[in-house]
Amino acid sequence: MFVKLQRLALKRLQRSEGPGVSQAAQRLLQELKAAVRHDAAVLRLERAAHEPPHKLHLGCGPNVKDGWINIDFAKHATYPLDLRNSWPFPDDSCEIIHSEHLFEHLEYPGEVRSFLGEAYRVLQPGGRLSTGVPETEGLLVAYADKSQREQIAPRLREKWHPVWCDTAMHSVNYHFRQGTEHKYAYDLETLARVLEQSGFEKVARREFDPGLDTEERQEGTLYVDGFKPLP
């Protein structure tokens, strides 16, 4: 079945029957490849001698952490798991889960609630969920302030945004969408509410931690921690 679907997707891409069909076929092919890589990574994890408690680094990109299980579809990661699926870790087996600029790539509410449900399940009681997302409130406040508005695009182009983001509104759009990669935006109130609704407690903003977080993401990131309650 997988081979047939893959061939059909490739044929649609080659025929280019309009952008809608082509984009849908490309998305299907990406999802099929992700499913295959995910299943292979699950098998590798089952065979590896990992003793709990685990430390999970989700969406690690090139920032691989020693002593952690590094998960991402990027080539640097040890395990290319699709985190929209069930996670191949036992209940109460992880002491910390850390991610930076991953959460905003999940659809809300479905994928987000599934992700947080799995995070809650695998964390030990008292375990820490640490997440960093693009900081949205400051961008919108600056946009609403005409005296700051024209400074937004040049500042963001220096690090994150492409050159065509030459107006503040282009930058706002890119922040929310990043092509089709970004699915949802957060401020502290919203992110905290979402974590609390998934059962986490002591949810609070924290400062950048050089021992945990990535230096180049320090500016423009909202860092929030939550904890799985003790019995």
Q: What is the DSSP string of 66-108?
A: TTSEEE-SSTT-SB---TTS--SS-TT-EEEEEEES-GGGS-T
Mean pLDDT per segment of 10 residues, for the chain of length 231 residues?
56 60 72 77 77 94 92 84 93 97 97 98 98 97 95 92 96 96 97 98 98 94 98 92
Domain ranges across the chain: 1-49, 51-136+185-231, 138-175
50-59 tens-digit pLDDT: 889 999 999 9
Q: Which tens digits make up the pLDDT trace of 122-178?
A: 999 999 999 999 999 999 999 999 999 999 999 999 889 999 999 999 999 999 999
Residues contacting 57, CB < 8 A, separation 6+: 63, 64, 65, 68, 69, 70, 71, 98, 99
H or E element in which residue 148 lies: helix 146-159
What separation, in Å, do the N-terminal and C-terminal C-alpha atoms of the chain show?
Answer: 46
Residue 28 has a pLDDT of 72
- Asked if 220 contacts 160 with a C-beta cutoff of 8 angstroms, the reply is yes
Report the CATH superfamily, name and number, of domain 51-136+185-231: Vaccinia Virus protein VP39 (3.40.50.150)
Rounded distance, CA 85 to CA 36, Å? Answer: 13
Check residue 14 and give its pLDDT: 54
pLDDT score recorded for residue 18: 65
Integer-rounded Cα Rg, in Å, for the chain is 19
Tokens of 42: 């699950």
This prediction's pTM: 0.86
